[in-house]
A and B are shown apart, each in its own frame.
Chain A
Amino acid sequence: MGELQSTRQDYDRFKAAVAKGDLSQAQRLLSQLKLKLIQLTTASYESASQTQAARALFRDVLEQAIFLSVKSKDEEAFQRNYVQLQEHYLDTRSVLPASPLQDLVLGLNLLRLLVQNSIAEFHTELELLSPKMQRSPYVAQATQLEQWLMEGAFNKVLDAGKAAPDPAYAYFLDKLQTTIRDEIASCSEQAYPHLSVKDATNLMMFNSEADLAAYAQQRAWSIDNGQLVFQVHEEDKISEVPAVQLIQHAMTYARELERIV
């Protein structure tokens, strides 16, 4: 029991370090804590309540570890911690009461998948959540963002950045903004023959026209007389017969027919 008590004190110090933003200190405490907790959770106790307490503590530590990884902008660490944490969420659902931070962490993870453009994983994770969890504001925002992204309602996504349900979201929402700007840019190239510089600045959420000019250079757009002219990537309409492909097809048919007859 004494062991558990001292670990809890360590946890409190760790949590304080995360909250203060003392990243290096927190990082050091975290690796110590994890080692201790692995021992604690696998040790055998007389009473079930002690095992539970150890598990709950481990879960709390991992949750804080996730916030730490968000603060230190380390997505890989986030993923690692999340995988470890998921086990605590899923498999001890019946033993432990749900953590108050659970929905927030789930939402963060969904957002991370969105930013990394792993839509398949996003949906796989989503299936794991019960309808009640899906209605929680943290998770609901992530699912809403995904829908808007698929639809193309980019400006809504950008607006959402201003209404983050938790400060921890800010990092991912910021990253999402960059992704979306690229999306808008590639859509605009195809959809508009030309666009005034002012409108384009608005559309792509740049702060000034100078920013846009720099970005335009990057994508090889030209600015002409206050008008943004897109290099039309008109892919050459197929005017010639795709001979090689046709021959290949014909050969396949011949081979298959031969086999049938």
Chain B
Amino acid sequence: MGKEVAMEVDAPTQNGNAAKEEPAGPAPVSVEAQLESCLKLLDRAVRAKDTRLIAGRLLRQIATLRSNLTAEVLFAFIEQTLPQSFSARETLLNVLHQAAQVTTLKKHAQLDEDTPTSVLPEVELVAYLLVVTFLIDQKQFPKAKELSTQAVARLGEFNRRTLDGLGSRIYFYYSWAHEQTDTLADIRGKLLALHRTAVLRHDELGQEMLINLLLRNYLHYNLYDQAEKLRAKAQRPENPRSSQQLCRYLFYLARIQAIQLDYTGAKDNLQQAARKAPVIAVGFRTTVAKWLVLVRLLLGEIPERIDLTQPGLSAALHPYFCLTLAVRSGDLSAFRAVAQQHEAVWAKDRVANLVVRLRHNVIRAGLRRINLAYWRISLADIASKLGLSSVEDTECIVAKAIRDGGIDAEIDHEKGWVTSRATPDVYTTAEPQADFHERIAFCLDLHNEAVKAMRFEPNSQQKAPLENADTARERVKLEEEAAKAAAEDDADF
């Protein structure tokens, strides 16, 4: 859900970045030249065994290219880079040929003499990745599905850490193409096998991606039980490499927790996911916000008005806003009306069962209001105020609310009324102190999380004393790039 929208958002932002990156260039750089520079970068990175360069900058550059790709450009690119002996070359060209449905593609066929005879596997997979993204952008999902399956098979033939970044991207489109063609169940076994391999090879990027894909796969079919079992047992890399994947993971985890009634845990994880999600990923943030509203309501909290009317999200959150109002007022009939009116929305967001669970909270909220307002009130009046059907029910419901600590009162059965106990002064109890503690703990936790989220170049201290002027310049350049990359990292979501 979130991903889908986030992906739509992907392309335009990448364009924005491209414009920012190349303002000083003499002329707008052609797609071909950009592809060329991608390859150079790739070559350099592979030789330096720099996995971060591939996972970060290269993938970003490819994403930049995405919206400018045309079948012709891709066709020429593949003809020039992939050796003729590769079966992939033929397949990719054929696919493009069919996809473009134009015959103009043939004219490049004579350029054969300067094609290389061997090529890095990374280059081949970049070619796969480009064509798959192209097909997905063209909404040709069945073809993308077929091709991504081949790409995954090809990927399995290598064991190179420099492929991890590219690989995880390919896995993502592999799953995405299957989701679009509604065949997610078929690849579950494959994904599990891939995940196992990724763990054995210490392919952390792949692990993070695959575990999310698997969770998404299970949750797509509402298999919460299996998802939770996998999540609890599967090994996760200690330091998350990608904040986007972490966000998704937290979101899936929270969904499982919410279904299994662990609302407190779900709320924590959703809040973290919402905080870590980049501003640009509107789709993801909307979905998280929806779940957060429901979970908070189920916990008996009332979300802040400002959370529900955030700019950009307020339209999508409108049904949830109405729901919150109904729960807050404790009015059962209003709640019923809202629940019915937006039934389609709940079904689409797959939260229908959570909304049903809220009924109980509406009654509680109503009772609490009555309890505060009246010193003594008859059960019949409560029943009519809350819209409950009979007095006997009301008596039981009130009794349970008293036991659960929702309200502080006692019932007189013979006379049929409820008397509120005098509310003690809250400041004579330990409650403010506990509340205060909770807030402090939250802030401290936030700080620790922030510290943990900082990333450092491995071995940077050891290298430092050895550098001369040249390497220093190189390093400064790299650092600038890294800083830029970190800033853009979020936009990649």
Q: Which chain A residues have a beta carbon within 8 Å of chain B's beta carbons?
A: 119-121, 123-124, 126-128, 131, 143, 147, 150-156, 183-184, 186-193, 195-196, 199, 237-238, 242, 246, 249, 252-253, 256, 260
Contact = CB atoms under 8 A, between A and B. Distances in A.
B397 A151 contact: yes
A186 B403 contact: yes
A151 B414 contact: no
Nearest to B227: A124
Contacts of B429: 238
8 contacts: A147-B359, A151-B359, A186-B403, A190-B403, A192-B410, A192-B413, A237-B424, A246-B433
A150 B357 contact: yes
A246 B433 CA distance: 9
Closest 9 CB pairs of A and B: A152-B400, A191-B399, A120-B260, A187-B399, A152-B397, A191-B402, A127-B222, A187-B403, A190-B403
A189 B259 CA distance: 32
Interface of B: 222-225, 259-262, 347, 352-353, 356-357, 359-360, 363, 392-393, 396-403, 409-414, 424, 429-430, 433, 437, 440-441, 444, 447-448
Contacts of A192: 399, 410-413
Contacts of B399: 152, 184, 187-188, 190-192
Nearest to A125: B225
Nearest to B406: A152
A151 B424 CA distance: 26
A143, A151, A242, A252: residue with the most chain B Cβ atoms closer than 10 Å = A151
B452 to A, nearest CB: 12
A12 B244 CA distance: 57
Nearest to A190: B403
B396 A154 contact: yes
Contacts of B222: 127-128
Contacts of A150: 357, 360
B476 to A, nearest CB: 30
A123 B261 contact: yes
A154 B357 CA distance: 17
Contacts of A153: 393, 396-397
Contact of A249 (B393, B424, B437): B437
A121, A131, A152, A189: residue with the most chain B Cβ atoms closer than 10 Å = A152
Nearest to A256: B444
B447 A152 contact: no
Given A151-B397, A190-B402, A191-B399, A119 B353 contact: no
B430 A155 contact: no
A186 B399 CA distance: 9
Contacts of A147: 356, 359-360
Contacts of B403: 186-187, 189-191
Nearest to A257: B444
Contact of B259 (A124, A242, A252): A124
Contact of B396 (A131, A152, A190, A246): A152
A64 to B, nearest CB: 25
Contacts of A120: 259-262
B411 A123 contact: no
B398, B403, B430: residue with the most chain A Cβ atoms closer than 10 Å = B403
